Structures are given as C-alpha cells and as structure tokens.
Amino acid sequence: MPTESYDYRLPPELIAHTPAEPRDAARLLVYRVATDEVVLDTFANLAKYLPEQATLVLNDTAVVPARLTLYKPTGGAVKILFLFNEWDGGDEIRGLPDRGLKLGDKLSFESGGETVVEVLSNQAEEFVFKLRVSAQRFREIAEEYGSTPLPPYIHAEMSEAVVRERYQTTFAAVPASVAAPTASLHFTARVFQTLADKKISRVPVTLHVGRGTFSPVTPEMIATGSLHAEPFSVSADSAAALSSAKQANRPIIAAGTTALRVLESAADKILHGQAIQGTTKLFIKPPYHFQLTDGLITNFHLPGTSLLTLVDALLQARGAKRSWRDLYEVAIGEGFRFYSFGDAMLIL
C-alpha cells in the first residue's frame, strides 16, 4: 500500500482554525453509494439523510487538558503532553516534553515548589514519569492548570475556556482523550431531537483517542498491519442494542472513525451482545470486510493518515463508484473546511 496514494493538495485557506458557529452550521457532504449521488447541505439537516430507525454509534470519550507546564530543577519551564489516554490511573504516566529532560529530573508545578513528577525513562521523544503526587491530585492539577492539546495545524486565538468547550463533544462523558472525536463536534441538542423524531437511536461506546490519530501511515504500520494502541470499551447495554440492530437489519452508522474502530474491533463480542473492554490497534485499509458498519459520518482528514485509508476501505467495501479522492475534490472545489474544526461527510 503506497502511502503516496493517500496524498492530496489542500489549499491552506481551507484548514479550519475555528469551529463552526453554531456547531451544527458546519457543512455536510452526503454521498449515497447506491445511487452515486452527492448532496451538499449543513449538519443541522443530518436526520434528513439517515435511514429511519437507524442506529447511530457515538464515542463518548472526553478530551482532558493534558498539556502542563512544569519546571525543571534549574528553573527552566518544560511543556509536557501527558498521555492520559494510555494512563491506567497508577503512579506512572507517559508524556511528550517539548525539550530535553534527564533521568531523575524532578519536575514541579512552580519553580522550586512541590514535585509533581520524576523522569523514570525515555525512548525517543516519549518519556515515562513517576507521579510524586496522588493520582487524584494529578488529575486536579491538570484540570485546573492544564491546557487542551489542540492539533498543531490549528492556529487560532481562543481562550482556554472556549477551547475546552468547543474541542469537546456536547455528550462527552469519560475523560481521558488527548484528541477529540472530531466528527461528533457538530452534534447539538437540535440535531439529536431531529434524529429522535425519526426514531434514530443513539448508542454510546468509548475509545480514548491518542496522539497517533493524526500521524501519517508509516512503513512499520503497513508491515505490522497495526496502529498505535487505544483503549476502548462497550457496555453490555450498548452491545445488546447493537446486536439487536444488526439482527433486525437496521443500519448501523458510526459517528466518526473512532466509533467505527470500536465497532469493528469488538464485532465478535457485540454480535453476541457481550460487553468488552480492551485495547485496539486495528488498522483499517483496503481491502477490508466490515462486520457491523453500514455508514460513516466523518470529517475531512489529513493526507497520508490511517483515517483516510479507513474512508477508502469503506468506500471500496460498499462498491462505490467514486473514490475518496473524487469526494475530496468535490469538497475542495466547493470550499469545504477541512480537519478537526472543519466540515463533515456522510457516507451511506
């Protein structure tokens, strides 16, 4: 699978640096595979296009303010992105500092103040830190003083309070992610009401999004057929609802690539109505047989990423006449906004 086949040129002005206002004012490109029809609309009208009695699967993870500024023994400041999505709540946590650290360095919240973490080890740019405060205290420090880790391509002057609200879904419930499930940023109470009116049910699953979600596909990923590890869970109630939908032949629509990866990673358990909690490295690329997913709501993704190979795999599996590139060319030609704060696409 040559990675250059997932490259494309995006005019810089189409990168969304701020979210749509209101959320559901984001634009929506609808592609109906069966008829090869493309429709342009807004996300507020999503219910118009989803089949009646469909099941919508939503990732209820919440983004945490995971980037903290701490101080080295010398007094120098270091910003660290702590990987809360990989943290088990114990006394060790991984993190990505923005500058060099030495083994044994004790980092404090204030210069010369209480030690928060100590450097245990490092490999490449990733460090392992030992907590010198309780897990609860560490969470409190992050919540009060941390900043939300926006993707590096977003350049906007927004306060932390605004970022915490807008780089978060309206239904976020389980804090741990260091990146948002961005296709779900467009949902509002108004959209959910129109879905309910059409008897479209909502089923929550959880996948804690990690730093690798925006990373380009590497030769190692292709060789191993696996991505970065991300923890996920499906409750017994959600598994039962999804199993029932499948048995009744009701369409299952994934709201975002993270929800889709949960569905496909846990398909065997879900089909038997069983709860599951685990870690997935699932790398979806063509050709791929989808066991549960009938449709996808997704944003427009960075070139060369596994998110784009997933979209390609779904289109090919459904026998689409248009490729992902064809659809992206339509979106670019119509001035759609791209990436995390950008517009959305619905594939049915």
Could you read off the pLDDT of 2-34 as tens digits, one per residue? 567 899 999 999 999 999 999 999 999 999 999
* Domain-located, residue 133: yes
The CA distance from 39 to 333, in Å, is 14
What is the reported pLDDT for 34?
97
* Domain-located, residue 155: no
Single out the residue of 226, 186, 123, 236 nearest to residue 337, CA to CA. 186
* Domain-located, residue 141: yes
Statement: residue 104 has pLDDT above 70: yes
Same domain, 210 and 117: no
What is the reported pLDDT for 338?
98
* Domain-located, residue 152: no
* Domain-located, residue 150: no
Q: Per residue in 260-277, pLDDT tens?
A: 999 999 999 999 999 999
Same domain, 184 and 328: yes
Same domain, 114 and 236: no
Q: Global pTM?
A: 0.94
Same domain, 29 and 74: no
The CA distance from 244 to 65, in Å, is 37
Same domain, 12 and 127: no
**CATH number for the domain harbouring residue 286:** 3.40.1780.10
What domain range includes position 136?
A: 67-145
Same domain, 22 and 7: yes
Statement: residue 217 has pLDDT above 90: no
The CA distance from 147 to 149, in Å, is 6
* Domain-located, residue 32: yes
Same domain, 82 and 44: no
Same domain, 297 and 320: yes
What is the reported pLDDT for 114?
84
Q: How confident is residue 339, by pLDDT bands cut at 50, 70 and 90?
A: very high
What is the reported pLDDT for 213?
65
For residues 195-216, average pLDDT: 89
Last residue of a domain, one of 119, 145, 171: 145
Same domain, 175 and 37: yes
Statement: residue 292 has pLDDT above 70: yes
What is the reported pLDDT for 157?
87
Same domain, 128 and 260: no
Last residue of a domain, one of 112, 145, 178: 145
Last residue of a domain, one of 145, 180, 207: 145
Q: Per residue in 138-157, pLDDT tens?
A: 999 999 999 999 998 999 88
Q: Per residue in 40-97, pLDDT tens?
A: 999 999 999 999 999 999 999 999 999 999 999 888 999 999 999 999 999 999 999 9
Distance of CA 235 to the CA centre of its chain: 19
* Domain-located, residue 157: no
* Domain-located, residue 343: yes
Same domain, 240 and 138: no
Same domain, 321 and 219: yes
User: In total, how many domains does the chain have?
Assistant: 2
Statement: residue 224 has pLDDT above 80: no
